[in-house]
Amino acid sequence: MRKFTFFLFGLCLLGLQLISCKSVNYLTNVEANRLDVSSESNLVPDPAITKLITPYKIELDKVMNEVIGETAIDLKKERPESTLGNWMADAIHRKAEEKLGEPIDFAIQNYGGIRIPVIKKGVITRGKIYELMPFDNKILVLYLNKSEVEELVQHIVSARGWPVSYGIKINELTKEDISITINEKALEEGLIYKVALPDYIANGGSRSYFLKDKKRKDLQYFIRDALIQDVVDFRSKNEVINSPKEGRFIIVKKEE
């Protein structure tokens, strides 16, 4: 409420400045003072602002509190593999294939992009997915050769694991030896692998600089919308989400 009030107040001041002055007076000096707003005891909601935003809040709450599906288990965020990560990567995989109109080989979701630790067993609301993925990140498909897939996998292994979808299995046998299989086959020279992932990563985020110049296709599809649609699709088939750990990602225990 405070931020919204301050925003409107600032907007009004700007409007007054624009419409009331024929000449412009430039600031020559600025002084700042600290205003402590840590205590809620002295803050009183502005009735006019409350009245203004209440209808919008009611409508927003209706949308965000809508139940769109259900999970049979707690979906938890963990490394290197997790129930939440498996479902998210699988959803990106499924929706990327639908948008692209052809199969992809696997999908990934960076660990830091998952913004809540758990979706509890039971119903899933639209608002919960917004909490999980508040950013407007989109799904991109990259076209990578064998060595480029190996570089990507090495990168996410060094980060102690990101969520990966069905289709790929990663096993860090030793610090120097990583086994990678796609659709139960070892990587092959001469093949091009299609990988769905967040545009943030494809554009170099989380130190993924080596991906910036790779061939790509932007699906123009927000990850958040893909996740919502995946939940809705499960419900339309009278199914619940169940994405147990299944050994997709195995990492050597980090030495103390």
From residue 183, give the alpha-carbon distance in Å to each of 11, 170, 180, 200. 56, 12, 10, 26
CA neighbours within 13 Å on the CB side: how many for 245?
11
Whether residue 61 is contained in a domain is answered as no
Rounded to whole angstroms, the Cα distance separating 118 from 122 reads 12
Does any domain span residue 30? no
pLDDT tens figures, 187-241: 999 999 999 999 999 999 999 999 999 999 999 999 999 999 999 999 999 999 9
79 CB neighbour count, 10 Å cutoff: 14
How many folded domains does the chain comprise? 1
The CATH number of residue 116's host domain is 3.90.780.10
pLDDT tens per residue, range 102-160: 999 999 999 999 999 999 999 999 999 999 999 999 999 999 999 999 999 999 999 99
What's the maximum distance between 2 C-alpha atoms anywhere in the chain? Answer: 74
pLDDT range class, residue 40, cuts 50, 70, 90:
low
| Number of C-beta neighbours around residue 250 at 10 A | 16
Instruction: Tell me the residue range of the domain where 221 lies.
Output: 67-239
